[in-house]
Structure 1
Amino acid sequence: MVMQAVMRALLQNQENIPQGSIHFRNGQVFYGVIQRLFPNQHAEIKMGVHKLIARLEVPLAAGKGYWLQVTSNEGAPRLKLLNSNPMSNNESTTNLLQQLGLSNDKVNQSLVRLLMNEHIFLTKEDIVNAVQLLKQSQNLEEGLQIIKLMSQRNLPYNEGVFKSLIASGNNDSTEHLLKTLQASLILEENQLDSTGKEILKLLKSWDVEILPNNRENALLLLKQSLQRTGIFYENTLLDSEQNHELLKESMKPLLVQFLQESQSIQSESKSIAEQLLFRMNGFQLLSSENGPIHHLLYEIPIKLGDYPSEIAMQWSGKRTEDGKINSDFCRIIFYLDLEHLKETMVDMQVQNRIVSVTILNSSEELKNLSTDMLPAVISGLKELDYRLSSINFKTPDNYNKQDSKKNRYHSKQSYNGVDIRI
């Protein structure tokens, strides 16, 4: 489906967030290429977007690549040369696995090639853990991309994080998993504990609620869905002003409790609940801070009239000094599954409360159909102290051609001039 394809693209776009300076850890292994040699045994080493100046204690050749390992991170970091002679990629991969005492199998080879090509820094322990995670993955290439994302986000290489990121990009949407969980709980209703019954009660109440489709009710449903999914419940626990009793009516904390109470039980409901929780956690992990820029990504089910749907939202912008979202300057992208228009994307950019909107949909008639609604949009924004500057309508083909010419997040090259000894 188009919606799931968009979500996978979102996950890939998250990888392009620019990285900061290098922070070495003892035992990290990485692949670097000698760019230039300088007097007094110094050289410039390039590792992806990073460059550093190092003092050489062994002769190296310009233009060649080497495997290096951090042996000391106190004062001027020290790097151990793992292969003294330049080798072909295959030879270099085999050599590193031998150096680390790892078997020369397909999974290990693929991971080492990822480290080389993507300039990823991992310790031997990280590599061993990453290999174990990859062996659990049904798709090796997908698993490698998740390992890459984990390294860029400095996330721990554990099963929970890995499965959460996998779940955030798969074809089972949050709305679909909720429906499937409800059907499974109904079949197992006689065997459910109190938490399972609470989850089923919440799902049933969510399923029957229908409100007239207007702006006020749409906003109310959106707020209710955020509260009912409980995707930000960890933050609520830390906020003493929040009503913690509401957590009992939220899906995510109920799922956590349900899985804790059924650790020794194998059931279809437990498996679905686990996948749903992984997906919720995955979106939370994809949300990030990059210096002053914050990225928030989530997916919630919602009913538009009697049509069950979902909204995926990506927000990028800065926070104010008191930690609140700066609504004057931001970018918000909505992915909607509508009853008649089907998959629709709304890309809204706000600069000093001036709003420009791009609507992506496969219908060529959407622009004409929306003409009568534009005055209400302009008026509604004006009530909120915003001014609409433009609305553009595009089909997926036209949007992709233009969007491919620019990166949503621009990579920046960092340069370290520390005194590093090899």
Structure 2
Amino acid sequence: METGALQGLFNQKTTQQIKTAEFRPGQIINGKILKLYPEQVAEVQIGNQKMIAQLEAPLSANERYWFQVQPGEGKVHLKVIGSGTEDKVQLGSLAKILGEFSMQPTKENLELVRFFIKEQLPVNRELLKQASEWLSMVDSRSAGQDALKMILTRGIPVTQTAFEALYTTTKEQSLVLLMEKLEKALDPSSNSNAGASLKKLLNELLPSNKITTSEAALNNLTAIWLKRDGQESQAALDLLKQFGAITSKGSESIVLQQMMAKLQHLGTVGEELPEGLNIAKKLITLIGNGDSSTARQVISSFIPEKTFPANELVESLKLLFYRTAGKEAEVQQGLQAFKLLMSIASDGESLSTLLGEKDTWRQAGLELLKAVGQPQPLPGNLTSLHAQLLSEAVGKADQPALLQEAGDALLTDIRIKRFLSALGLSYEQQLGEVLKDGEIGKAQVSETLKSLVLRLLNENPPPAVKEASELLLNKLTGFQLLSQEAGPIQQLVVQIPFVLGGGTNELTMQWSGKKTEDGKIDADFCRVLFYLKLEHLNDVIVDMQVQNRVMSVQIFNENPTLRKMAEQMTPVLKRKLAEIDYHLSSVHFHVPGQSQSGRNQRTLADLYSQKEYSGVDIKI
């Protein structure tokens, strides 16, 4: 389903939109004679377009014919070269069409002519020869034909560069996989400035590797335990114990006492401590020695007063050393102060030195990732809150640096804009502005993924790096070609990585709509298509249409139980949309291939054929 779904998502303009095409001498087209007029003039329908044409031979009304456009002024001049529909073309007719172009009726050429006929794409000799040559160089002829179709129906320049870009966009691996391939191919010992800058940017754009993610996930979980209160704090501590990051089976109080004891002994043999732990150790030592005045100065230097008054924190920590016998409450107050100190004075990575050995910490992180990726219930007596915190900790750990921000949302407008800016999809526009200015010190082209890949290719890199760079460059160029403006309509196609449930996913998104007078996206009238391939739900397509801020959503997935699974989330979706002034009118679920009330069975690609939206002036 993946290929067909993505093709449907990309092919917003169908071949029926020939009504905007210009017919040029030499092109072959299929049309139906609607009406006959004197002097061999006829009304001909080609696709959805009706035209008055001059025929070079008498024909019959209501019949379909194959025509070749002839030179001439005024009316379109058509020469009949065969009869029949695009679905029933005899071998002899195909050979005759190839003969008009002085091409041999080979198997590949016959197949190519059938493709142009089926898609109702006007074709001439030059285009047919170019297409034949390009298709001979690709692994998948069907994917190559899809690229040709997009070029001819979207008004994209008919060049080999455009063909290779669109072929890579639709057929080759995902954007993230191509980025990972290039990142691995880049030699860290290379002296190339472009290569070093590119590797750095790729590390910011790509999700981290499994070991790094596992350790970062535990760091995030530790931060949740220390910085939050109540059930979430206790649940995070339970998880750290469950996966072996904390070997102690005792209560939180016992764990904190063990941490403080280890902190007091760290650094005694000349080992260097992280800055945060070093300050915390100094503070604990000062309080233990009775130097409260200096301790307050140390606290004030790195903890904002509004976070916790220095005097109050020192007095609470003193209870760990000078407490009234038998008063357990004072001990707990002191330990909670130490917990606060740990949450502010050190990050998760340095805290791991107080909680366990490095190998134990790493193994615990890997077990955590393994548990998150399993479809069965979590081990032990873990609840939905535990699952939520696990997902949050892993998601934040694996999220690419350029997609990170405060908050728990997977993808926001800020994240998407940041990621798109880093890709460099407006590179040529920036370059044009710089060249137009012609003055040093004015606008500069920012370092983006595309600009750095181009610089790297100019340095004649090794074959493996060159191949990976060219594939990635074609992918980015393909997105640019698919994201061009068509009259008043703006379209954007892109893939964005994100993390869900501990796994890295990729969202393919296509936005179509008009711009406002000031050049911004019109969020009141638009259509957005989302394509995701999830681990357990497989392919999911979401078709979101907005008219005057009234939103309707259609979801396509092969799992018939998805509707029931999602019903409880619909009120939440409606409420959240209302908060940003949108009204959710409907959410419909469809299983591809199943008949629906009032509809015939349709393929996913059919769902994205030409549609017109009244009052929006958008044709998709």
- With normalisation by structure 1, the TM-score equals 0.80
Q: Which has the larger radius of gyration?
A: 2
**Distance between the aligned counterparts of 2:53 and 2:566, measured in 1?**
63
**Alignment map for 1:273-312 (pairs within 5 Å):** 273-303=469-499, 307-312=503-508
**Alignment map for 1:102-113 (pairs within 5 Å):** 102-113=103-114
C-alpha offsets along residues 256-308 of structure 1, whole Å, 9 cap, x if unaligned?
2222332xx55112112211221222222223545544432211223458643
Aligned pair 1:254/2:254, yes or no?
no
**Distance between the aligned counterparts of 2:99 and 2:454, measured in 1?**
42
Aligned pair 1:316/2:503, yes or no?
no
Q: Report deviation, 1:106.
A: 1.9
Structure 1 residue aligned with 2:548:
352
Residue 310 of structure 1 aligns with an amino acid whose one-letter code is E
Counterpart contact for 2:19–2:47, Cα < 8 Å: no
Q: Report deviation, 1:316.
A: 2.1
Structure 2 residue aligned with 1:232:
426
C-alpha offsets along residues 82-130 of structure 1, whole Å, 9 cap, x if unaligned?
64x7697322222232232222212222222333333322332222211
**Distance between the aligned counterparts of 2:143 and 2:175, measured in 1?**
20
Counterpart contact for 1:4–1:171, Cα < 8 Å: no
**Distance between the aligned counterparts of 1:105 and 1:149, measured in 2?**
25
C-alpha offsets along residues 181-234 of structure 1, whole Å, 9 cap, x if unaligned?
11121xx33346221221111112334536676138754433322222222333
Structure 2 residue aligned with 1:387:
583
With over 3 angstroms needed to count, the CA separation of the structure-2 counterparts of 1:235 and 1:386, relative to structure 1, is farther
Higher relative contact order (CA 8 A, sep 6+): 1
Aligned pair 1:203/2:196, yes or no?
no
With over 3 angstroms needed to count, the CA separation of the structure-2 counterparts of 1:392 and 1:18, relative to structure 1, is same
Counterpart contact for 2:494–2:508, Cα < 8 Å: yes
**Distance between the aligned counterparts of 2:410 and 2:26, measured in 1?**
56
**Alignment map for 1:121-140 (pairs within 5 Å):** 121-140=122-141
Counterpart contact for 1:48–1:118, Cα < 8 Å: no
With over 3 angstroms needed to count, the CA separation of the structure-2 counterparts of 1:50 and 1:390, relative to structure 1, is closer
Counterpart contact for 1:221–1:302, Cα < 8 Å: no
**Distance between the aligned counterparts of 1:237 and 1:364, measured in 2?**
50
**Distance between the aligned counterparts of 1:370 and 1:57, measured in 2?**
63
More helix by share: 2
**Distance between the aligned counterparts of 2:555 and 2:83, measured in 1?**
52
Residue 308 of structure 1 aligns with an amino acid whose one-letter code is T
1:371 corresponds to which of 568, 575, 583:
568
**Distance between the aligned counterparts of 1:411 and 1:378, measured in 2?**
26
| Identity between Structure 1 and Structure 2 (%) | 31
**Distance between the aligned counterparts of 2:544 and 2:479, measured in 1?**
20
**Distance between the aligned counterparts of 1:252 and 1:399, measured in 2?**
44
**Distance between the aligned counterparts of 1:365 and 1:167, measured in 2?**
32
With over 3 angstroms needed to count, the CA separation of the structure-2 counterparts of 1:27 and 1:381, relative to structure 1, is same
Residue 65 of structure 2 aligns with an amino acid whose one-letter code is G
Aligned pair 1:267/2:463, yes or no?
yes
Which stretch shifts more, 153-162 or 230-239?
230-239
Residue 18 of structure 1 aligns with an amino acid whose one-letter code is Q
With over 3 angstroms needed to count, the CA separation of the structure-2 counterparts of 1:181 and 1:50, relative to structure 1, is same
C-alpha offsets along residues 40-68 of structure 1, whole Å, 9 cap, x if unaligned?
33223333333322234543455352432
Structure 1 residue aligned with 2:50:
51
Structure 2 residue aligned with 1:75:
74
Q: Report deviation, 1:391.
A: 3.9
- The secondary structure found in structure 1 opposite 2:493 is strand
Counterpart contact for 1:48–1:119, Cα < 8 Å: yes
Which stretch shifts more, 129-138 or 58-67?
58-67
- The secondary structure found in structure 2 opposite 1:313 is strand
Which stretch shifts more, 105-114 or 203-212?
203-212
Which stretch shifts more, 176-185 or 338-347?
338-347
With over 3 angstroms needed to count, the CA separation of the structure-2 counterparts of 1:233 and 1:46, relative to structure 1, is same
Gaps of 5+ in 1: 413-422
Counterpart contact for 2:543–2:554, Cα < 8 Å: yes
1:410 corresponds to which of 586, 590, 610:
610
Structure 2 residue aligned with 1:223:
417
**Distance between the aligned counterparts of 1:392 and 1:135, measured in 2?**
43
- With normalisation by structure 2, the TM-score equals 0.56
More strand by share: 1
Give the superposed CA RMSD: 3.6
Counterpart contact for 1:69–1:82, Cα < 8 Å: no
**Distance between the aligned counterparts of 1:224 and 1:305, measured in 2?**
23
With over 3 angstroms needed to count, the CA separation of the structure-2 counterparts of 1:116 and 1:126, relative to structure 1, is same
Residue 156 of structure 1 aligns with an amino acid whose one-letter code is P
**Distance between the aligned counterparts of 1:269 and 1:86, measured in 2?**
52
Counterpart contact for 1:107–1:134, Cα < 8 Å: no
Counterpart contact for 1:353–1:386, Cα < 8 Å: yes
Residue 417 of structure 2 aligns with an amino acid whose one-letter code is K
Residue 568 of structure 2 aligns with an amino acid whose one-letter code is T
Count of residue pairs brought into register by the alignment: 401
Q: Report deviation, 1:167.
A: 1.3
